[in-house]
Amino acid sequence: MGRARMTRNAHASEYEAAWTRFHSLTGLIHGFETIDSPWARGRDRYGAFLVRVDDPAACDHLRPLAERLSAVPGLTLYPEEYWHITIKTVGFLVPLATADEEVPDANLASIIEAAAAAFAAQPAFGLRIGPINAFPDVVIAEIWDGGAVRRLNTALLDGIPALPSQPFDGPYFLPHISLARYASNEALDELKDTLTQLRTVGPGPNLHVPTVELITAHIADAAPTLETTHTFPLATP
């Protein structure tokens, strides 16, 4: 029973829709995760709940895929130490919030307390790294988790009303590992061809997820660096 949950692609139709949508694109959304981007507007700390992807078998599976992507013009690869599965974004961490996507530092203690209670009620789970796919703004690896990541996302939405809600939260949350963002439309046709070839590789290894981390992403000129703020154990099934 556990192994079936571990490898089941609960969101198969949604991933297939994302793949079809990507192939219909005539232009890409270029990356926003730098300190000077309109998205960041000079703000340099972003909070998120996530699962780091640092298992040796997972990295051995993803590394050759990333190497193939590195040959495609117009892509900016995320470094290996950045690989992760987002559970729920928190928002920009600031001394005093003045926008909907911002969370004041003074709220973090209560967010951590509420998150600990939410995670303690959710069981540890297994997942499998699925094939390559792509969104309009990023190249991804699918995550086959039997719906566990989406349940965790929903538990945080329900348990922490202070967290900013995103359009892709709850029933629309599609778990993934971001591998590369787009820097230009320079080689869109080549990118589509390369991803079509890479999509035949996989799925990857099974992983066990017993904990979730709250991290602070320090946004810089390149990929953000991730600092763990708190680690939350999930319940033993």
Paired tokens of 157: 């939405």
Q: For residue 125, what are the β-bridge partners?
A: 209
The percent of residues above 90 in pLDDT, for the chain, comes to 81
* Residue-wise pLDDT tens digits, 40-92: 888 999 999 999 999 999 999 999 999 999 999 999 999 999 999 999 999 99
- Inter-residue contact 228 to 111 (CB < 8 Å): no
Domain 2-220 -> CATH class: alpha beta
Closest CA to 149 of 68, 106, 85: 85
pLDDT at 16 over 90: yes
| Amino acid at the residue 215 | I
SS3 at position 74 = coil
| Two structure tokens written together for 100 | 């909907």
Domain locations along the chain: 2-220
Task: Give the separation between CA 50 and CA 165, rounded to whole angstroms.
Answer: 16
Note the pLDDT tens digit of each residue in 113-140: 999 999 999 999 999 999 999 999 999 9
Map tokens 């699918």 to a residue.
142
Q: How many residues does the chain have?
A: 237
Q: Could you tell me the pTM of the whole model?
A: 0.93
